[in-house]
Structure 1
Amino acid sequence: MPDPVILWLRQDLRLHDQPALVAAAHEAAVIPVYILDDDAPGDWAIGGAQRWWLHHALDAFGKALKDKGSRLILRRGDAVKELHKLCEDTGASQIHAIRHYEPWWRKAEKALGDRLCLHDGNHLAPIEEVTTGSGGLFKVYSSFWKALATRMPPEDPLPAPRSIPAPSKWPKSDSLADWKLLPTKPDWSGGFDSWTPGEAAAREAAKDFADRVNAYDIDRNMPSIDGSSRLSPHLHMGEISPRDAWHLAGGGKAALTFHKELAWRDFTSGVILDRPDYADANGRPKFDQLKWRRSPEDLKAWQQGRTGYPIVDAGMRQLWTSGWMHNRVRMITASFLIKHLLIDWREGERWFWDCLVDADFGNNAVNWQWVAGTGVDSNMWGRIMAPLVQSEKFDAAGYIREWVPELAKLPDAAIHDPETAGCRPAAYPKPIIGHREARQRALEAGRAAR
């Protein structure tokens, strides 16, 4: 028999539409490997919420592989060193993997040299092929979408293999339990029970969303309805591919807004490919001069959902409890931290990275810089979301009642702004700052930076 090949898995834990797996299985016996490398990402090692998801995702994927006659090998440490060791121990000369764009993975891919065979599979189209007229990567999403749309719809997804050829001898594997990815002291994951990680759950979620896609354009902005796809953590962990999600959602105008959201993920990968430091550096250097406030007290109040702004507090409590936050509310809470509290966007980016089950390196960085106005494609600094207006406009009363129980008995007319309505319960904090005062302070800081 020919020497086995290694399937290096990262954020691509699926059997359907897995081109690296298909290529490996056509070549020889396959050794699927996941390596938990906390050193290569540096400060961007996955956060607590992602670790909870990863544990369950690996458990589910290991069972799926077993059903195909294979198994999942787990290793912990430097990914490049562990892969070289596996090649030596098993006689494998080839490593198949799906291409990734995080800077630490690109460095690892380069270090593996000719042993590594990369496949495109986590995007609608290869990022390097969607370029401007001069051959560069796009910095503006609207232009990126126009270029990408000419290549859409994406190719049909690959079917899952009926079986996976196994080697005559398996290398040693870590125990998933020994990795201690789940929280214990304390176990803060009680509210995560609304999620079911794994490929099977991802496909069920995609099919469920297909029945609701006609209302997506409007309902996705309504926190109390939550018409979002709920696919973001599955897409982040690669439990479903973007092109599979595209096709499962259907075609036509009904799915267009969702397709554009999938395209945004591709766009953010292009941004971090072009700017590997984008998670740490302003996209527009002039904002390096902006004088951020250092206020641990205000930052903590925001993190804990104790700002006195109900829509902001509801979002931050949903994030901590469930590992996720409604998209519209993500923008409102981010804008509040940056513009109302004048706290560096990187503080919020780090908090989301640790708390979100769908914390994607490119998405997280680009979205925060978009709200801040510091990014290459972003809002103007002077655009400051009014959280009280946003709350009423998008009918967030039911959402606030769910996540801020102190306000549950207030009527719709008062729940968005109980302080002004004169019915703020004693257990709920006063607004940390007035909207007009905060807006004026932010505008002055922006003018000073310019």
Structure 2
Amino acid sequence: MPVAIALFTQDLRLHDNPVLHAALAATDPVVPLFVLDDGIAATGFAVPNRAAFLADCLRDLDAGLRSRGGHLVLRRGDVVAETARVAAEAGAGAVHVAAGVTAFAQRREARLRAEFGDRLVVHDAVLTALAPGAVTPAGKDHYAVFTPYLRAWSAAPRRKPLPAPRRVPVPDGIASLPVPVVRPDSPELPPGGERAGRARWKRWTPGDRDALALDGTSHLSPYLHFGCLSATELAAGTADEDFVRQLVWRDFHHQVLAARPAAARADYRPRGDRWHRDESELTAWQAGLTGCPIVDAGMRQLAAQGWMHNRARLITASYLAKTLHHDWREGAAHFLSLLVDGDVANNQLNWQWVAGTGTDTRPNRVLNPLAQAKRFDPDGAYVRRWVPELAHLPGGTVHRPWLLAERPDYPAPLVELPTDRFERGRPR
């Protein structure tokens, strides 16, 4: 029986991995392969935080494979050329890989198909709980509105999670590179890998996911992005409806991008926006020096951790796109430069949702940062943690330092902040 290759991409796990499971079911031994693809660097999405997290994931995956009698084969270069080279070295027949949704992933799959023909086996519902295109509205190729998608997703059958393999035999003599050591940009970056992800999942207790200071979110998004955890397993293993709803949002964005890959860079629903351009404002926003404490706290958390609370992401994005009226692509690019969970589908389409160019049915929605601060950080604990120059201010006064008789050493607001909840920022 010929050898098979299990080509890992964003499915860096042993539990519930249809790619590895199918390769092992069809052949013995297999080559668990990951290619450090030079093409990723060309897209501009190879950034230190994700590269450092990825290195952790690869070390953990290799350790898990070694505990089962195998090991990870690591190569660097063009993913198609390296996979073909490994297939020739191992005498491999089939190549198993997970289906992706980005334009980059679709091009990679097409090139793999051209190289391997019907020897390529592509597996759906590996990176998401429900495969893109598994449910569609009548006469259309994807859902453009979330609520109907949620209903369809909830009614659709989903596969059962698969157990981790007990043994992963790997043929001898296949050369492998060592996992690189990468220094992240963010000093508080969490550890990567399946074991770290499963440990975090096990100890997480659902709480108030919108309260900024309590931080009741799961912090599982980096592990989902790299496939250290399975969305299918998470959805099957929790009774928390709010958490499952977030997994459905993730699947929703993936099915939108699979159908409309250009939405990673172009407006999903163009509205003729005339974006404001001001490099000094953009730099202040990136550095967390806008003079709006709740915004600055979120941006500084991003810089420190390579991650940001979900509510803070909405607030900071709305401030840039709706209050300052900067192009959403500027903000999305900065987020992707630091976020360890920088998933193209979720990041770009969430930014478009906030900016009013995406799937939101209320494109004129504006999140007033002061109203958001009052509701989700009422005593200012989140701001005091991330903006230390304001840490001495009591209670909610920390959100409006410009009103104090003695001004702290902190920037004045870039613009006058809106007083009404849905008041627009700069005119279009």
Distance 1:338 1:86, change over 3 A: same
1:170 corresponds to: 173
1:137 corresponds to: 142
TM-score by length of 2: 0.94
2:317 corresponds to: 334
Distance 1:421 1:110, change over 3 A: same
Matched, 1:226 2:223: no
Q: C-alpha distance in 2, partners of 1:227/1:79? A: 38
Question: How far off is 1:115 after superposition?
Answer: 2.2
Q: Deviations over 1:129-165 (max 9, x none)?
A: 111122521111111111111026x433111011112
Q: C-alpha distance in 2, partners of 1:413/1:367? A: 29
Q: Which residue of the other structure, out of 349, 371, 382, is the alignment partner of 1:389?
A: 371
Secondary structure of the corresponding residue to residue 221 of structure 1: coil
- Work out whether residues 307 and 340 of structure 2, in 8 Å CA contact, stay in contact via their aligned partners in 1: yes
Question: How far off is 1:41 after superposition?
Answer: 7.1
Q: C-alpha distance in 2, partners of 1:235/1:12? A: 9
* 1:105-144 matched pairs, under 5 angstroms: 105-113=105-113, 114-120=118-124, 121-144=126-149
1:20 corresponds to: 19
2:46 corresponds to: 46
- Work out whether residues 20 and 98 of structure 1, in 8 Å CA contact, stay in contact via their aligned partners in 2: yes
The structure with the greater share of residues assigned to helix is: 1
Matched, 1:248 2:200: no
Q: C-alpha distance in 2, partners of 1:436/1:335? A: 12
Q: C-alpha distance in 2, partners of 1:341/1:437? A: 15
Secondary structure of the corresponding residue to residue 39 of structure 2: coil
Q: Aligned letter for 1:238?
A: G
* 1:175-254 matched pairs, under 5 angstroms: 175-177=178-180, 180-183=181-184, 188-192=185-189, 195-209=190-204, 212-213=205-206, 215=207, 219-249=208-238, 251=239
- Work out whether residues 46 and 353 of structure 1, in 8 Å CA contact, stay in contact via their aligned partners in 2: no
- Work out whether residues 37 and 77 of structure 1, in 8 Å CA contact, stay in contact via their aligned partners in 2: yes
Q: Where do 5+ consecutive residues of structure 2 fail to align?
A: none
Matched, 1:368 2:368: no
Question: How far off is 1:225 after superposition?
Answer: 0.3
Question: How far off is 1:42 after superposition?
Answer: 3.9
Runs of 4+ residues over 6 Å off in structure 1: 437-441
Q: Aligned letter for 2:305?
A: S
Q: Deviations over 1:315-368 (max 9, x none)?
A: 000000000000001000001111122211001000111110101010011100
Secondary structure of the corresponding residue to residue 133 of structure 2: helix
Figure out how many residues of one structure are paired with residues of the other and give that number: 420
- Work out whether residues 206 and 248 of structure 1, in 8 Å CA contact, stay in contact via their aligned partners in 2: no
- Work out whether residues 414 and 423 of structure 1, in 8 Å CA contact, stay in contact via their aligned partners in 2: no
Q: C-alpha distance in 1, partners of 2:170/2:81? A: 23
Aligned-residue CA RMSD in angstroms?
Answer: 1.9
Distance 1:40 1:47, change over 3 A: closer
Q: Aligned letter for 2:182?
A: L
Secondary structure of the corresponding residue to residue 435 of structure 1: coil
Secondary structure of the corresponding residue to residue 117 of structure 1: strand
Q: Aligned letter for 1:34?
A: F
* 1:51-450 matched pairs, under 5 angstroms: 51-113=51-113, 114-120=118-124, 121-151=126-156, 154-167=158-171, 169-177=172-180, 180-183=181-184, 188-192=185-189, 195-209=190-204, 212-213=205-206, 215=207, 219-249=208-238, 251=239, 255-287=240-272, 290-375=273-358, 377-378=359-360, 380-395=362-377, 397-425=380-408, 427-436=409-418, 442=425, 444-445=427-428
Q: C-alpha distance in 2, partners of 1:315/1:81? A: 42
Moved more, 75-84 or 133-142: 133-142
Secondary structure of the corresponding residue to residue 122 of structure 2: strand
Distance 1:131 1:440, change over 3 A: closer
Question: How far off is 1:420 after superposition?
Answer: 2.1
Q: Deviations over 1:193-235 (max 9, x none)?
A: xx221111111211222xx22x3xxx10000001101110011
Q: Aligned letter for 2:30?
A: V
Q: Aligned letter for 1:52?
A: A
Q: C-alpha distance in 2, partners of 1:128/1:160? A: 27
Question: How far off is 1:441 after superposition?
Answer: 7.0
Question: How far off is 1:4 after superposition?
Answer: 1.3
- Work out whether residues 372 and 379 of structure 1, in 8 Å CA contact, stay in contact via their aligned partners in 2: no
TM-score by length of 1: 0.89
Q: C-alpha distance in 2, partners of 1:207/1:437? A: 42
Q: C-alpha distance in 2, partners of 1:19/1:43? A: 27
Distance 1:191 1:164, change over 3 A: same
Question: How far off is 1:7 after superposition?
Answer: 0.7
1:4 corresponds to: 3
Secondary structure of the corresponding residue to residue 190 of structure 1: coil
Q: Aligned letter for 2:50?
A: Q
Question: How far off is 1:126 after superposition?
Answer: 2.0
Q: Aligned letter for 2:267?
A: N
- Work out whether residues 222 and 394 of structure 1, in 8 Å CA contact, stay in contact via their aligned partners in 2: yes
Moved more, 84-93 or 342-351: 84-93
Q: Aligned letter for 1:191?
A: E
Q: C-alpha distance in 1, partners of 2:170/2:232? A: 28
- Work out whether residues 319 and 325 of structure 1, in 8 Å CA contact, stay in contact via their aligned partners in 2: yes
Q: Aligned letter for 1:181?
A: V
Question: How far off is 1:286 after superposition?
Answer: 2.8
Q: C-alpha distance in 2, partners of 1:265/1:429? A: 36
1:448 corresponds to: none
Q: Where do 5+ consecutive residues of structure 1 fail to align?
A: 446-450
Q: C-alpha distance in 2, partners of 1:58/1:385? A: 39
Moved more, 273-282 or 105-114: 105-114
Q: C-alpha distance in 2, partners of 1:189/1:386? A: 28
- Work out whether residues 24 and 30 of structure 1, in 8 Å CA contact, stay in contact via their aligned partners in 2: yes
